[in-house]
């Protein structure tokens, strides 16, 4: 049922992002329009440094954070395909479908033996980012935007590595999809420049920010899980 609702939201998401491009018959054909009414398709690759924010789940049990309080940020890649459609001279709607990741890492090393323990954890989602953007410029466009990203949980993976007191190494991979909520919501923001070439292809460079608004763990987990990420992205674009 949740997948069906997610599909309906996807269809509505793209219906809002779509645009009918019309020409002004009163404008001279020899002059190029000052207002760019073309939509832009893009494929975006971005890397964020994501930091966990754990809280005690006092609605269930009050458990100390313990060593999880020492987790550190993890750099993860995400991908997005979408469309940016102008709605006025300076404002546009940017929406698409994304494969998104959050994560964290932990590393401990003994001071007296060869023992060590480390892990990286990744949470993967299918998302539908939607932003309202302000932009100015023609061939080189500056933009800034903000919006929301509904996300449907896809997978959880924790890769663990450790050594015993003699230095013997072992590793293990855990996958527990039952601990995570099916749906989360994040606030997103971005700024950067869009470079348009004469061929209608272009390049977009951006700084991106994402903050998870809803708890990513289930109601019966020891902790509540939120995350914040900041990083940069590069996108290939095509005007049409």
CATH topology for 2-15+41-239 is Porin (2.40.160)
Q: What is the DSSP string of 75-133?
A: EEEEEEEEEEEESSSSEEEEEEEEEEEEEEEEEEE-SSSS-EEEEEEEEEEEE--EEEE
Averaged pLDDT for residues 10-35: 44
- 3-state SS, 140-158, equals EEEEEEEEEEEEEEEEEEE
Q: Is 60 exposed, middle or buried (0-12, 13-18, 19+ CB in 10 A)?
A: middle
pLDDT by residue (tens digit) across 136-180? 998 899 999 999 999 999 999 999 999 998 889 999 999 988 899
Give the separation between CA 74 and CA 54, rounded to whole angstroms: 15
Q: Which of 235, 155, 226, 163 has its CA nearest to residue 195?
A: 235
CA 127 to chain centroid, in Å, comes to 7
pLDDT in tens, 77-121: 999 999 999 999 999 999 999 999 999 999 999 998 989 999 999
């Amino acid at each position: 049922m949740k997948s069906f609702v997610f599909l309906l939201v996807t269809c509505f998401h793209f219906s809002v992002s779509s645009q009918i491009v019309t020409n002004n018959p009163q404008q001279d054909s020899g002059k190029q329009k000052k207002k760019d009414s073309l939509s832009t398709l893009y494929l975006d690759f971005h890397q964020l440094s994501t930091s966990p924010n754990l809280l005690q789940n006092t609605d269930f049990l009050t458990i100390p954070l313990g060593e999880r309080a020492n987790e550190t940020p993890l750099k993860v890649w995400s991908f997005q395909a979408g469309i940016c459609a102008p709605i006025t001279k300076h404002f546009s709607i940017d929406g698409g479908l994304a494969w998104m990741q959050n994560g964290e890492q932990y590393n401990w090393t003994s001071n007296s033996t060869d023992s060590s323990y480390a892990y990286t954890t990744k949470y993967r989602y299918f998302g539908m980012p939607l932003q309202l953007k302000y932009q100015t410029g023609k061939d080189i466009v500056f933009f800034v935007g903000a919006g929301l990203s509904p996300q449907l949980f896809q997978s959880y993976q924790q890769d663990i590595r450790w050594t015993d007191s003699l230095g013997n190494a072992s590793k293990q991979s855990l996958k527990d999809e039952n601990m995570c909520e099916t749906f989360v919501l994040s606030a997103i923001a971005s700024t950067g420049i869009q470079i348009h070439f004469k061929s209608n292809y272009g390049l977009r460079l951006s700084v991106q920010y994402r903050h998870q608004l809803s708890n990513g763990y289930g109601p019966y987990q020891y902790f509540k899980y939120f995350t914040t990420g900041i990083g940069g992205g590069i996108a290939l674009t095509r005007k049409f």
